[in-house]
Chain A
Amino acid sequence: MNIIKRTHVLVAVAGLWLSFGAVSRAADVSADVKVIANPSVSASEISSEDLKAVFLAVKTSIAGSQVEPVLAKSGRAHDEFLKGYLGKSDATLITYFRGLVFTGKASMPKVCDSDAEIVAYVAKTKGAVGYIGAGVAAQGTKTLAIR
């Protein structure tokens, strides 16, 4: 019985540690990465849960606006965003989307080679949402605050 109780306590502590870890990672990431959207997106902020849902093709609209995720091919902002908000590496994210594409559940999202390309694509594409380095200029887009 004691062993069962001890196991429950250990599982609970591990769960809390992992949860707090995820929260603090997200907070760290927001200093390095900003999320931008096409001005057609009505929202000015987004929760980290919704952000994850949008970038995993679970959610296709936020605050009544249809949205389309835009991914970077590589780079520091890309790695930080994936790790902090999606909990995935580049390889596991690609695998995730291939799973959707090859079962017919979603299309492969747009992938851009650079921050500049992401800014240009988001600026011209209705509903597009992307992420870039926090210090990168993003003309023609709006920055979404992350709750």
Chain B
Amino acid sequence: MTRETVGIDNRRASGARLSAAIRIMALGTVLCAAPTALYAQEFKIADKAVQVHGFGSQGFVVTEGNNWLTMDTTHGSGAMTDFGLNASSQLTKKFRLGMQVYARNLGALGEFQPSVDWAFGDYRFASWLGVRAGKVKTTLGLYTDTQDLDFLHAFALMPQSVYPLDLRDANISHLGGDVYGTAPLGRAGSISYTAYVGHRDDSVHSAYPYFLLARGTHDSTYLGYQWGGDVRWNAPIQGLVVGVSGLGERLHGEGIRLGLPNREKSRRPDTTAQYFSQYAVGNLKVDAEYKHFNRDHLIRNFNSEDVADVRAWYVSGSYRVMKRLELGTYYSHYTITSTFLGLVDTTLPSGHDYDKVVSGSIDINRYVNVKLEGHFMNGYGFGPYPNGFYPQVNPTGFAPTTKGLVVKTGFNF
């Protein structure tokens, strides 16, 4: 690389940083100046109230070490935008209907392609029995269904070992049906359950197809069936929840590799088991989750087999120290092994990603927030399945550690 091209790259990077900073400031200014425009809208159609809500966020990430989440973060990147809009109505005492559209751009992912995030009918026979059908957010652990709604969390990025932002599309929703309910247990609190079956169809703009490009495979489809359940005990101790979730998937992908058709499929169902607990009382929230993801796939036209095993857990705590200020911290632990890649030693940087995080979130008003977050990562966990670090944006190889700063602002109404 010549000095001239380095200069051009630096000017481009500087321009990108400036552009992202301007976007964040402009969004913040507009949102602070016009809070009244952010009130939820409610109107009536045929005497039925329809509520409209929306959200959006803009992030800026700068790292030292590796480029992260498909962005050019070592030069600073603001390619982190998402927004959604929903409308819903309680049509009868027991039946509600709603839909949310969503679009995002995260580095090379999403590319602002709008998608139906959820759209379903929900009939609740009683508090202990309800059914939902359509495209439904998946209940898996504490936050799978709300992982991208950062205004609900103290953190700009959820613990990436369990809720990887790049893989948002993978398990966030399913096209199918749920049965759910909450049953009282008297003095022992109550128990909530969800069981579901459905179908998953990943966008070509999602993380796995992008990840496969680095291995010479251009996937055009990656889809399959999902089934699972979740049981959580709402303990009689105020704010204590303990639960377990499970997910099974039988998936297959098709595409082109080295100019020839290429296929892969689950040899056995992919499985995810997630154990979690939460203690949330007053302004304090403490979470802990453990996730075990196992994936046994026949790859390269079913001629090879890869068993990938991911173990992930985190412990997080947050406290609202003032009405508008919430501070938080977490430790996120991720390891991956692969039989096909011969990746067995999780102490190697390629076999793990340990992330220590400190975060602060300020509510500018009821609808707008700004977050500042530091990440201190050890390892890059590069196996047969994505985990934040991609060779396409790290062409000279991976550094063993990464430090990152995330600034994010968002609104919701």
Given contacts A87-B238, A101-B53, A103-B118, contact A60 B127 (CB under 8 A): yes
Whether the pair B124, A87 counts as a contact (CB closer than 8 A) is: no
Contact B282 A88 (CB under 8 A): yes
User: What is the distance, in angstroms, from B193's C-beta to the closest C-beta of chain A?
Assistant: 13
A58 contacts B by Cβ under 8 Å: yes
| A75 part of interface (Cβ distance < 8 Å) | no
User: Given contacts A19-B236, A83-B282, are A53 and B182 in contact (CB under 8 A)?
Assistant: yes
Interface residue total, chain A, C-beta cutoff 8 A: 30
Q: Which chain A residues (57-114) contact chain B, with CB distance < 8 Å?
A: 58-61, 66, 83, 87-89, 91-92, 94-95, 98-99, 101-108
Residues of A within 8 A of B363 (CB): 91
B280 touches A53 (CB 8 A): no
Question: In the complex, what distance in Å separates the CA atom of A103 from the CA atom of B146?
Answer: 7
- Chain A residues lying within 8 Å of B118, measured Cβ to Cβ, are 103-104
Are A104 and B100 in contact, CB atoms less than 8 angstroms apart? Answer: yes
| B124-A89 in contact (CB<8A) | no
Binds A, one of B85-93, B163-171, B218-226: B85-93
- Give B375-392 interface residues, CB cut-off 8 Å to A: none
Query: CB of B73 within 8 A of chain A?
Result: no
Q: How far is the CA of A108 from the CA of B323 in the complex (A)?
A: 21
User: CA–CA, A15 to B188, complex, Å?
Assistant: 12
Question: Which A residues are CB-close (under 8 A) to B149?
Answer: 98-99, 102
A92 touches B280 (CB 8 A): yes
User: Known contacts A19-B237, A88-B282; is A104 also within 8 Å of B182 by CB?
Assistant: no
Min CB gap A129→B, angstroms: 15
Whether, in the assembled complex, A18 has its beta carbon less than 8 Å from a beta carbon of chain B, the answer is: yes
In the bound complex, what is the Cα–Cα distance between A92 and B152 (angstroms)? 9
Task: Select which of B55, B137, B323 is within 8 A of A104 by beta carbon.
Answer: B137
- CB-CB under 8 A from A94, the residues of chain B are 366
Nearest CB on A from B71, distance (A) = 25
Structural contact, A58 and B182, CB atoms closer than 8 A: yes
CB neighbours (8 Å) of B60 from chain A are: none
Say how far A14's CB is from chain B's closest CB, in angstroms.
Answer: 9
- A60-B93 in contact (CB<8A): yes
**A22 CB-CB contact with B under 8 Å:** yes
Tell me the minimal C-beta distance from A57 to chain B in angstroms: 10
> Does B199 interact with chain A (Cβ within 8 Å)?
no
Please indicate the chain A residues that have their CB under 8 angstroms from the CB of B137 in the complex.
103-104
- Tell me if A49 is interfacial: C-beta within 8 Å of chain B: yes
CB neighbours (8 Å) of A18 from chain B are 237-238
Distance between B19 CB and nearest chain A CB, rounded to angstroms: 28
Q: Which B residues, 183 to 201, have Cβ-Cβ distances below 8 Å to chain A? A: 184, 190, 192
| B96 / chain A contacts, CB cutoff of 8 Å | 104, 106-107
Q: How far is the CA of A112 from the CA of B151 in the complex (A)?
A: 23
For B272, list chain A residues within 8 Å (CB): none
- Asked if B122 and A108 sit within 8 Å, CB to CB, the answer is no
Contact B55 A108 (CB under 8 A): no
With contacts A60-B124, A88-B282, A91-B320 known, is A102 near B182, CB below 8 A? no
Cβ 8 A contact of A22, one of B51, B98, B145, B237: B237
Q: In the complex, which residues of chain A have a beta carbon less than 8 angstroms from the beta carbon of B49?
A: 107
* A15 interface neighbour in B89, B100, B184, B237, Cβ under 8 Å: B237
| Pairs A–B under 8 Å by Cβ, sample size 30 | A21-B238, A22-B236, A22-B237, A49-B184, A53-B127, A53-B190, A58-B127, A58-B192, A59-B182, A60-B93, A61-B126, A87-B238, A87-B282, A92-B285, A99-B152, A101-B88, A102-B53, A102-B146, A103-B146, A104-B88, A104-B118, A104-B120, A104-B136, A104-B137, A106-B96, A107-B51, A107-B88, A107-B90, A108-B40, A108-B51
Name A's B-contacting residues (CB within 8 A).
15, 18-19, 21-22, 49, 53, 58-61, 66, 83, 87-89, 91-92, 94-95, 98-99, 101-108
